[in-house]
């Protein structure tokens, strides 16, 4: 059986929450077969967001990004499964929604990069860092996924 324990961090940004897309985004990950390991609604602090986006600190759009991410609640999630990081990013679509294919989350629900409704880890290392930044170890739920036998050989 393939290793199905890779985890990724997915966040629904304030615009996704305000537009009532939380359920639709979660549904896509569930229907794909990924296992939800952690979920919470948070109002992130400026400091928390600056640490999360530390690799973008020198970009000219950084202050606006932090302000946007503080503008409302964020749904932080951890999903688990085979190739979860790469597939999670593929499901979200390109960072610029206009470059996203129809059928992706951003391709179906977004128009502009500055309001692209979700974040997904871009590597396993980033996922591990982001998960530990947003969740305490005891907030990650480890359980036997009943659908596993129907998803994996």
Annotated binding site for ATP: 13, 61, 89, 95, 106, 116
Task: Point out the catalytic residue in the list 48, 52, 119, 133.
Answer: 119
First to last CA, the chain: 6
CA-to-CA distance for 139 and 6, rounded, in angstroms?
17
Contact 76, 134 (CB under 8 A): yes
Hey, what's the torsion of the CAs at 50, 53, 54, 55, to 10 degrees?
-160
Question: Annotated catalytic, 52?
Answer: no
Binding-site residues from annotation: 13, 61, 89, 95, 106, 116
Name the residues annotated as catalytic.
Answer: 119
């Amino acid at each position: 059986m393939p290793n199905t324990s890779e985890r990724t961090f997915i966040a629904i940004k304030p615009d996704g929450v305000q537009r009532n897309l939380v359920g639709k985004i979660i549904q896509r990950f569930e229907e794909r077969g990924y296992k939800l390991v952690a979920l919470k609604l948070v109002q992130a602090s400026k400091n928390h967001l600056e640490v999360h986006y530390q690799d973008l600190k020198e970009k000219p759009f950084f202050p606006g990004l932090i302000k946007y991410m503080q503008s409302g609640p964020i749904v932080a999630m951890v999903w688990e499964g085979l190739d979860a990081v790469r597939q999670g990013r593929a499901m979200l679509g390109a960072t610029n929604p206009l470059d996203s294919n129809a059928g992706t989350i951003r391709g179906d629900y977004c128009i502009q990069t500055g309001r692209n409704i979700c974040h997904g880890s871009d590597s396993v290392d980033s996922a591990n860092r982001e998960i530990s930044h947003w969740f305490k170890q005891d907030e990650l739920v480890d359980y036997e996924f009943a659908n596993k036998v129907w998803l994996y050989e």
